Amino acid sequence: MPEGIKDKVAIIGMGCTKFGENFKQSAEDLMIEAFKEAIADAGIEKKDIQAAWQSNQFTEISIGHSALPLSSTLHLPFLPVTRVENLCASGSEALRAASYAIASGAVDIALALGVEKVKDLGYPGLPRENEDIVARGTIGRVIFPSWMNPNPGMFAMMAVKYFDRYGLSIEEGKRLLAKISVKSHHNGSLNPKAHLRREITEEDVMKAPFIAWPLGLFDCCGVSDGASAAILCRADMAKSFRPDPIYVKALSVAAESGEDLLYNAYDYTHVETTVRAAAKAYMEAGIKNPREEISLMEVHDCFSITELAIYEDLGISPRGKARDDIESGFFELNGKIPCQPDGGLKCFGHPIGASGLRMMYEVYKQLQGKAEARQIKNPRIGLTHNLGGQPPHAVCAINIVGN
């Protein structure tokens, strides 16, 4: 049994750009903006950083291979910089890599920075002449053709299955999911860094055009550009930088290519990698009852149904009972465990390499009591949940931090 990394590493500074249609900012501009905020927040100088990890997924469309874009953009000559990528969970991986390096003794102060620009160029999945595939699978097989972005469809199937299993009509199910989006839009409306900053109503959600039935426009997160950064250090050094550092309690990843699930009659109403990653994270952090111990969560709400399934997969709501918690306001800003206090992917969009760190930015600010109009009362333990892939074929990264 490994000893784990609980309380060995602290976050002492974070930065995050406004997410959105940042056509006037290059990826470099975004990186610099997030980085400058992070080092100012940490009260360190650039030369104090001993190593860095950069997360971005789509080399094909954005800043290319390696971590040299970070090296040149932030002007960090001869620093060790390394790129990590794990689909939509890449941002959490940058934080995990930097944390392990610090806890290992290799470095004392490290940078994790995630960035992606997708608004200008689109995901590589969009149809292009002479380029009819998006992803090459293992053994060279095509995973999906470019005319099919699988994500809305995959999660739409999850919604239908969930409604069916727990006896919700499509109308009831859609109305339940609508409450999730309404809640996140309310939170996002309070956040100057969010892409979408307006309240919506249940009726807006119900009447919106379908993207993948039964999911409509307001059940889906958007696409945006953005960057987010964290400065981490050895826990025993942290108070020399600031009085209110945030400590890493657990870093957990679980990945599954889908074969085990498919061969074992996967039920399509949950994401098993979330269940596995959560179990490991709670053990590492010493959390016995997450429903009582967690103060707030930022989860991977790429679709409203995803957020609902996560409530259950994280063991917050009992299986099949997320409905009760949604209806009672359990996850709202003034509820027991606010979920997506910053507005979530729903209001931030999803510049892939940045999202995991954007989630941590909100948790960090909340734990420090600096979340302004969105501030939660006396939070102690925050959780981020970052998902890559689709329900049966996914990478899930869960990080738990506390003050």
- Pair 249, 7: CB distance under 8 Å: yes
Instruction: Identify which of residues 101 and 177 has a Cβ nearer to a second copy in the complex.
Output: 101
Cis peptide leading into 290, omega within 30 of 0?
no
Fill in the per-residue mask, 43 to 72: x = in contact with a second copy (CB under 8 A), - = not in contact.
-------xx-----x-xxxxxxxxxxx-xx
Q: Which stretch binds a second copy (CB under 8 A): 90-98, 328-336, 359-367, 372-380?
A: 90-98
- Is residue 160 a contact point for a second copy (CB under 8 A)? no
Q: Rounded to the nearest whole angstrom, what is the least distance from the CB of residue 113 to a second copy in the complex? A: 13
**Coil vs helix vs strand at 135:** strand
Closest by CA to 368, choosing from 249, 245, 247, is 245
CB 190 within 8 A of CB 14: no
Encoding tokens for residue 92? 């959490």
Residues 94-113 touching a second copy, rule: CB under 8 A, are 96-97, 99-108
Residue number with CB closer to a second copy (4 or 153): 4
- Reported as type and span, the H/E element at residue 382 is strand 381-390
CB of 49 to a second copy, least distance (A): 12
Residue 234 burial by CB count (10 A; 0-12/13-18/19+): exposed, middle or buried? middle
Asked if residue 240 binds a second copy (CB under 8 A), the reply is no
Asked whether position 140 contacts a second copy by CB under 8 A, the answer is: yes
CA dihedral defined by 51, 55, 61, 64, rounded to 10 degrees?
Answer: 20
Rounded least distance, CB 143 to a second copy, Å = 8
Q: Is 388 in the site for a second copy (CB under 8 A)?
A: yes
The residue length of the chain stands at: 403
Q: Is 272 helix (H, G, I), strand (E, B) or coil?
A: helix
Which residues are designated catalytic?
Answer: 88, 350
- Binding residues for a second copy, rule CB under 8 A, total 79
Decide whether 59 or 375 has the Cβ nearer to a second copy. Answer: 59
Contact between 184 and a second copy per CB under 8 A: no
Lay out the site mask for a second copy across 246-285 (x = CB under 8 A, - = otherwise): -----xxxxxxxxxx-----------xx--x---------
User: Is residue 187 within 8 Å of residue 344, measured between CB atoms?
Assistant: yes
In the complex, minimum distance from the CB of residue 216 to a second copy, in angstroms, rounded to a whole number: 28
Q: How far is the CB of 12 from a second copy (least distance, A)?
A: 16
The distance of closest approach from Cβ of residue 17 to a second copy in the complex, given in angstroms and rounded to an integer, is 16
Q: How far is the C-alpha of 239 from the C-alpha of 76, rounded, in Å?
A: 25
CB of 21 to a second copy, least distance (A): 16
- Does residue number 385 form part of the binding site for a second copy (CB under 8 A)? no
Nearest residue to 15 (alpha-carbon basis) of 120, 98, 115: 115
Q: How far is the CB of 351 from a second copy (least distance, A)?
A: 15
How many C-beta atoms lie closer than 10 Å to residue 208's C-beta?
Answer: 17
Angle, alpha carbons 141-153-395 (nearest 5°):
60
d(Cα 342, Cα 194) in Å, to the nearest integer? 7
The Cβ of residue 280 has, within 10 Å, a number of other Cβ atoms equal to 16
Residue 167 found at the interface with a second copy (CB under 8 A) = no
Between 71 and 189, CB nearer to a second copy: 71
Considering only CA atoms, give the Rg of the chain.
Answer: 20
> Hey, which residues does 394 pair with through a beta bridge?
256, 389
Q: What is the CB neighbour count within 10 angstroms for residue 110?
A: 27
The reply to whether 314 sits near a second copy by the rule CB under 8 A is no
Q: In the complex with a second copy, which residue's Cβ is closer, 73 or 366?
A: 73
338/392 with CB nearer a second copy:
392
**From 206-214, 316-324, 354-362, 388-396, span contacting a second copy (CB under 8 A):** 388-396
Asked if 17 touches a second copy (CB under 8 A), the answer is: no
**In this complex, which beta carbon is closest to a second copy, that of residue 97 or of residue 190?**
97
User: Which position among 45, 138, 192, 288 is part of the footprint of a second copy (CB under 8 A)?
Assistant: 138
Q: List CB contacts of 24: < 8 A, sequence separation 6 or more.
A: none
Stretch 69-88 residues interacting with a second copy (CB under 8 A): 69, 71-73, 75, 77-87
